[in-house]
Amino acid sequence: MDQLVIEGRHPLKGTIRISGAKNAALPILAATLLTGGTFRLQNIPRLVDIRTFTDLLIDLGVTVDYSTDNDSDFLNIDSSGLSDHEAPYDLVRKMRASILVLGPLMSRIGKARVSLPGGCAIGARPINLHLKGLELMGAKLRLKEGYIEAKAGRLKGAHIYFDTPSVTGTENLMMAAVLAKGTTVLGNAAREPEVIALGQMLNQMGSKIKGLGSNTIKIEGVKKLRPVDWKIIPDRIEAGTYMMAVGAVGEELIIEDILADHLEAVISKLRSTGLQIEGDNARISVRKKGALHSVDVTTLPYPGFPTDLQAQIMVLMALAGGLSVITETIFENRFMHVAELRRLGADIKVEGRSAIIKGVKGLNSAPVMATDLRASASLVLAGLAAKGTTTISRVYHLDRGYEHLEQKLAAVGARIKRKKAYLIR
């Protein structure tokens, strides 16, 4: 397995371009199952999770190919040949977001067989809300040999309330509802930009969705949809990660091709740590001047502070001048990075859903191990800040969600290298 080797304490200076958002691309790929014809998708990040999802689409009989036009890459997808309705264990096991095929398959062909995702490193992550919604829309569900088997005639509109707002749950049920008979109302729905982007694309395809960005989404079912050309929004989590890299090691980065509106909670929190952030919606500069201040952070559904940046901001708090409390309210077991950060000298204590962090003067290098996608990003930030050379193993987690991470960081002054597995003794 590949490793990342980082020689710390080299400040960053330059410009980083942000890639398309993984979490926006995945539901949009799923939406191509809703109708035949060619979709032309732009700004799809080249990531392992995207590859896993396109493999799943190909398994279902979908045609997928890349093309380049005017220096932009496009992913061309046509599900006219849809011939299967199963998401097998081997793919769902690799990526839970595979569950996103459930809604569109039920919507278009009224049947789906999807492996039930198991637990994962950050908690139990159930899909009960996805399933409850489908049942209310008239689907018959049964669990057989680890698979959810779902069947329905044409789904019918329903009033569905999320006990807790679920991002992929909202996306799945929105896709289930667009071709259903009648109107569906999703209450306490997720408001993440990726949910809005999917809804906008579905509307462009001919759906009738209202209330995107609010917690009540209304979907009036239609009979037919059409394929569209669509551009994926920038990855707000990737952008937030690089902003925090400036906090970890200095000095100044320009972050380009973003939608800063999607990062309001993050920018506000980072300003409270003392980082100077200026710019407009598409391009910002982040500068570190002086020591970091400790701040408390609580993760919340959008527009609150994202759980996907919790591990990364913990690195800044480990280096800040005081005491801070980070509370994780979304996932029950998302502190796997704490033990690894401690190996680098961080002073962090976990009490239930909170981590209490006492800032230290500096971190020191050590071999560490990535445990999940965002935890891995936090280890990269810690490695950039630490004195000496930090080796991170199991970096395949990073390849799931950060496009060209080493290249982007090396181009702005980081000393970071990948050791290919066959070179590691």
184 CB-near residues (< 8 Å, 6+ apart)? 137, 157, 158, 159, 160, 173, 176, 177, 218, 219, 221
Name the nearest CA neighbour of 202 among 171, 233, 181: 171
- Part in contact with ligand UD1 (CB under 6 A); list of ranges 50-58, 128-136, 276-284, 355-363: 128-136
One of 47, 127, 179, 344 touching ligand UD1 (CB under 6 A): 127
Which residue bears the tokens 């971190």?
363
Q: Which tokens is 208 given?
A: 């009738």
For residues 184 and 156, give the distance between their C-alpha atoms in angstroms, rounded to a whole number: 8
One of 3, 19, 23, 273 touching ligand UD1 (CB under 6 A): 23
Is residue 185 part of the annotated active site? The answer reads no
For residues 8 and 389, give the distance between their C-alpha atoms in angstroms, rounded to a whole number: 6
Cβ distance to ligand UD1 smaller for residue 307 or 390: 307
Does residue 303 have a cis bond before it (omega within 30 degrees)? Answer: yes
Tell me how many residues contact ligand UD1 (CB under 6 A).
20
Smallest gap, in angstroms, from Cβ of residue 238 to ligand UD1?
12
For residues 424 and 84, give the distance between their C-alpha atoms in angstroms, rounded to a whole number: 41
Cβ distance to ligand UD1 smaller for residue 127 or 258: 127
- Does the protein bind ligand UD1 through residue 31 (CB under 6 A)? no
- Kindly give the residue spans of alpha helices, DSSP state H, lying in 178-251: 193-204, 236-249
Query: Per-residue contact track with ligand UD1, 88 to 107, x per CB under 6 A?
Result: ---------x----------
Site for ligand UD1 in 262-321 (CB under 6 A): 307-308
Smallest gap, in angstroms, from Cβ of residue 63 to ligand UD1?
23
For residues 366 and 344, give the distance between their C-alpha atoms in angstroms, rounded to a whole number: 6
- Does the protein bind ligand UD1 through residue 331 (CB under 6 A)? yes
CB neighbour burial string for 394-412, b if at least 16 within 10 angstroms, e if fewer: bbebbbbbbbebbebbeeb
Rounded to whole angstroms, what are the CA distances from 352 to 221, 331, 347, 374? 43, 12, 17, 20
- Part in contact with ligand UD1 (CB under 6 A); list of ranges 12-20, 127-135, 152-160, 320-328: 127-135
One of 10, 85, 108, 130 touching ligand UD1 (CB under 6 A): 130
Smallest gap, in angstroms, from Cβ of residue 417 to ligand UD1?
27
Q: Which tokens is 283 given?
A: 């391009």
Smallest gap, in angstroms, from Cβ of residue 23 to ligand UD1?
4
Q: Is the dihedral of CA 376, 381, 384, 385 positive or negative?
A: negative
Per annotation, catalytic residue among 5, 64, 120, 339: 120
- Part in contact with ligand UD1 (CB under 6 A); list of ranges 31-39, 124-132, 218-226, 402-410: 124-132
Smallest gap, in angstroms, from Cβ of residue 194 to ligand UD1?
6
One of 6, 18, 25, 26 touching ligand UD1 (CB under 6 A): 26
Q: Which tokens is 31 given?
A: 């939406």
For residues 341 and 3, give the distance between their C-alpha atoms in angstroms, rounded to a whole number: 17
One of 25, 41, 62, 129 touching ligand UD1 (CB under 6 A): 129
The identity of residue 202, as a single letter, is L
Cβ distance to ligand UD1 smaller for residue 103 or 359: 103
Query: Per-residue contact track with ligand UD1, 194 to 233, x per CB under 6 A?
Result: x---------------------------------------
For residues 62 and 212, give the distance between their C-alpha atoms in angstroms, rounded to a whole number: 28
Site for ligand UD1 in 151-180 (CB under 6 A): 164, 166-169
Q: Across-strand partners of 252?
A: 13, 287
For residues 26 and 104, give the distance between their C-alpha atoms in angstroms, rounded to a whole number: 13
Query: Per-residue contact track with ligand UD1, 357 to 396, x per CB under 6 A?
Result: ----------------------------------------
Cβ distance to ligand UD1 smaller for residue 188 or 203: 188
Smallest gap, in angstroms, from Cβ of residue 424 to ligand UD1?
29
**Which positions touch ligand UD1 (CB under 6 A)?**
23, 26, 97, 125-130, 164, 166-169, 190, 194, 307-308, 330-331
Positions marked active-site: 120
